[in-house]
Structures are given as structure tokens and as C-alpha cells.
Amino acid sequence: MRTTSVGVFKIATKGPGDVSGLMRLIEQGAIDPTSILAILGKTEGNGGVNDFTREYAVAALCNALAPKLALTPEAVEQRIAFVMSGGTEGVLSPHLTVFTRQQVETPPAGMPGKRLSIGMAQTRDFLPEELGRSAQISETASAVKAAMADAGISDATDVHFVQIKCPLLTSERVEAAAARGHKTATISAYSSMAYSRGASALGVAVALGEIASDIRDEDVLRRYDLFSKVASTSSGIELMHNVVIVLGNSGTSASEFEIAHAVMSDAIDAAAVTEALGSVGIRPGAQAKAGRELVNVFAKAEASPDGTVRGLRHTMLEDTDISSTRHARAAVGGLIAGLAGTSAVYVSGGAEHQGPAGGGPVAVIARLS
């Protein structure tokens, strides 16, 4: 059985094209570029269809890493999983989280138990008419299982966060489907982001046995009682397939990191954030336990679709000036930042079928010395 060592590095950025922090760590020898498996980033765009900060950030990273890996930028994008989440409203601070993975001969002494492991997989490219529907669900479920195997995780309860980058529809993609005699789930590019996120999340739930596999097309964005407790999906214009990253704990990992999660029932569920932090030995508003250091927090956020939070009306869905996803990111980002003691946290908007309606998963990675 192989033993892997997973590393996690959080790097502040000055803009979506800023790769200086990553390059510095590579030049210092802290990061071996050949070991980089995935990079998750928060960029200061609007998080919408026309948020090109995501594509800009990926292009900058690929161009910077290409000479280090003796590859073309296009080949770098195929080798490394890039997930850029646009939108740093409120106190959220733009940053990158770089995950590395290397094989080691023997695990280090004094680090018993399961440790952080990471696995990656991709689906095939989808046709426009497949987005938000059963094809995307089933293909995603298969990719999640493949990513679990890649991470050396066999028990679904050891999976604590599944990050997915998924496609969206554009006018050209809708027209292409129509020309072939097919209708898409929606003709709205913005609405298609939710359909794609939701179907991808349901794929995670199916793969992990959280729900049954008999999901119908009409269940997407309607059956909100169906959800995954660990899925985090983010849609973008820059791809037509799903990129799946599984984060969990494995006995085959020699990592000095650990991950845990909880589920927020709504946008102000501080207790769930506290639970997630506590599961890896981090106490809100106080120093971590001896030998524990907070690395990052990953969470989903959305405006509750029923228009209320604990019985009180919210106006996030009725604001025609600011998207509800931006409101939700700001609110949940502020809550988590206050409890975690840092504003460089990864909060992604749009939590359709990712946790209960109006809530979402929250995962925490800590370093164990």
C-alpha cells in the first residue's frame, strides 16, 4: 500500500494575476512544483457568468508553472486541478490554497491515525443539454469515486470536502444544443450556474451514499431535501467538464494535516463553524491547542430560498442591484472570519443541494506538529 505525504500552503494574492507568492515558495524550495496536485483560489471578481478573474488567475498560474514543469500552459492545466471561486465580498481576502502530494517510503514517527489525503478526477466533457440533468449527476458520481480511490479513501465517512468546478451555459452553447434538436435545462446563463452546481452536488451525494441514485432531472433545484453534507461546487465559463477534488483523511497518508467538517443549517450557524474548528483542535477566539495550527476554512453559502433566516425575512433574493450569492458570501464570510480569526477563508456562493437549503458544509484543515 502506497504512503503519500500531502502538503497545504495558503498564499495571499495582490490580484487575480499575482503568482509571486507561489513562485517565491518554489524558489525557496518549500514547494516542489512537480508535486502540486490542486490549487483552490478566491479571486476578487463578481462570481457571475462574466467573472473573468477566474480564467485570468488560471492562465497566470499555468504560464508561471509551465517552465517549472517543462510543459506548455495548456498541459499544466490538464495536470493540475484549478478551482477559482470568484467573489471576495465583505472582509473576504483573495488568496490561493495549494495542495501538494508526494509518495514517501515510510510514514514519520509520532503521527498515528488518519491524516489529510487528496484525490483528483475529471468527468468527460458534457453536452450543453446535459448540464443540470441526470447525465451530469451520474458522471460526477463516478468521478467522485475515482477521486476517492486516487486519495486512498475507501470509507465515505472519511470524506470531509468535495470541491468541484463545473461548467455553465452560454448563448452559444444553448444555440448549439438547439441546432441539434435539444433543449437545455435553462436558456439563462446565470440560472445555468445553479443547475450545474446543483446536479454536481447531487452527484457527490449519490457517490457517498447520502441519497439514493434514482434522481430525476426534475429533482434538480426542486427537491432541496436531497443534498450532500460535504459537496462544494463552483461553476465557471472556462470548461465543459467537471473537475473533482476529494479531501478527506486516510490511513495511507503521512501528512501533517487533518481535515474535519460540519454542516451549517443556515447563514448564521456559528455553532456549526465552532464544531468544525473544534474537530481539529481549534478554539474560536482563543489560541489553538498545543500542536495545532489553523490552515484554512472552506465553506458554501447561499441565500435561503424561502426568503427567511430563522423565521425573519431577508432581502437577498429581492435585491436587483447585488446578486444574492454576493450577499451570502459576505455574510457567511464575515461570520467564519470572526470565528476563525482570519479573513483569508474560502467561502463560495451558491449552495444548491450542498447542505440543507440556506445552509452549507464548512470544512477546516489544521496542521499538526
What is the secondary structure of 115-145 as a DSSP string?
Answer: EEEEEEEE-PPPPGGGTTSHHHHHHHHHHHH
C-alpha cell at 32: 516542489
Sign of the torsion angle spanned by Cα atoms 73, 75, 76, 77: positive
Range of the domain at 280: 256-368
Q: Are 347 and 333 in contact (CB under 8 A)?
A: yes
Question: Could you tell me which of 363, 164, 301, 165 has the C-alpha nearest to residue 246?
Answer: 164
Band (114; pLDDT cuts 50, 70, 90): very high
Query: Known catalytic residue: 165?
Result: yes
Which residue in this structure is represented by grid cell 471561486?
85
**What's the helix, strand, coil split of the chain in %, to 5?**
35, 25, 40
Band (48; pLDDT cuts 50, 70, 90): confident
H helices within 239-291, ranges in order? 270-279
Residues 219 and 121 in one domain: yes
Task: Pick the last residue of a domain from 245, 280, 305.
Answer: 245
pLDDT for residue 126: 98
CB atoms within 10 A of CB 181: 7
209 annotated binding-site participant: no
Q: What type of residue sits at position 228?
A: S
Range with the lowest mean pLDDT among 72-86, 240-254, 274-288, 300-314?
Answer: 274-288
> Cα-flanking dihedrals φ and ψ of residue 208, to 5°?
-90, 5
pLDDT for residue 292: 87
Whether 106 has a pLDDT exceeding 80, the answer reads no
369 vs 214, residue with greater confidence: 214
132 annotated binding-site participant: no
Q: Assess if residue 127 is contained within a domain.
A: yes
CB atoms within 10 A of CB 126: 23
Question: Could you tell me which of 134, 148, 155 has the C-alpha nearest to residue 198?
Answer: 134
Find the catalytic residue in 42, 145, 165, 229: 165
Task: Pick the last residue of a domain from 106, 125, 157.
Answer: 106
**27: Cβ contacts below 8 Å, ≥ 6 apart:** none
CATH code at position 5? 3.30.1330.170
C-alpha cell at 214: 434514482
Range with the lowest mean pLDDT among 18-32, 212-226, 229-243, 287-301?
Answer: 287-301
Whether 104 has a pLDDT exceeding 90, the answer reads no
Range with the lowest mean pLDDT among 134-138, 318-322, 342-346?
Answer: 318-322
Task: Pick the last residue of a domain from 245, 266, 293.
Answer: 245
349 annotated binding-site participant: yes
Find the catalytic residue in 192, 228, 234, 323: 234
Q: Assess if residue 251 is contained within a domain.
A: no
139 vs 291, residue with greater confidence: 139
Q: Are 261 and 315 in contact (CB under 8 A)?
A: no
Kind of pairing, strands 159-166 and 243-250?
Answer: antiparallel
The overall average pLDDT reported for the chain is: 94
Residues 234 and 157 in one domain: yes
pLDDT of 279-288, one tens digit each? Answer: 999 988 655 5
Residues 272 and 316 in one domain: yes
* Strands of the sheet with 3-12, listed across from one edge: 3-12, 95-104, 36-43, 81-86
Question: Could you tell me which of 363, 143, 366, 352 has the C-alpha nearest to residue 245?
Answer: 143
334 annotated binding-site participant: no
Q: Assess if residue 229 is contained within a domain.
A: yes
351 annotated binding-site participant: yes
- Supply the angle between the helices 189-207 and 134-151 in degrees, to the nearest 10: 50
Residues 328 and 282 in one domain: yes
pLDDT for residue 60: 98
Residues 76 and 120 in one domain: no
pLDDT of 326-335, one tens digit each? Answer: 999 999 999 9
Q: Are 58 and 165 in contact (CB under 8 A)?
A: no
Residues 143 and 173 in one domain: yes
Kind of pairing, strands 159-166 and 231-235?
Answer: parallel
DSSP code string of 71-86:
S-HHHHHHHSEEEEEE
Q: Assess if residue 184 is contained within a domain.
A: yes
CATH code at position 346? 3.30.1330.160
CA 166 to chain centre: 10
pLDDT of 227-257, one tens digit each? Answer: 999 999 999 888 899 999 999 999 999 999 9
Residues 220 and 280 in one domain: no
pLDDT for residue 289: 61
Q: Is the pTM of this model over 0.75?
A: yes
Q: Assess if residue 360 is contained within a domain.
A: yes
Strands (E), 13-114: 36-43, 81-86, 95-104
138 annotated binding-site participant: no
In b/e form, how buried is each residue of 100-116, taking b as 16+ CB within 10 angstroms? bbeeeeebeeeeeebbb
pLDDT for residue 49: 84
Query: Known catalytic residue: 234?
Result: yes
pLDDT of 26-38, one tens digit each? Answer: 999 999 999 999 9
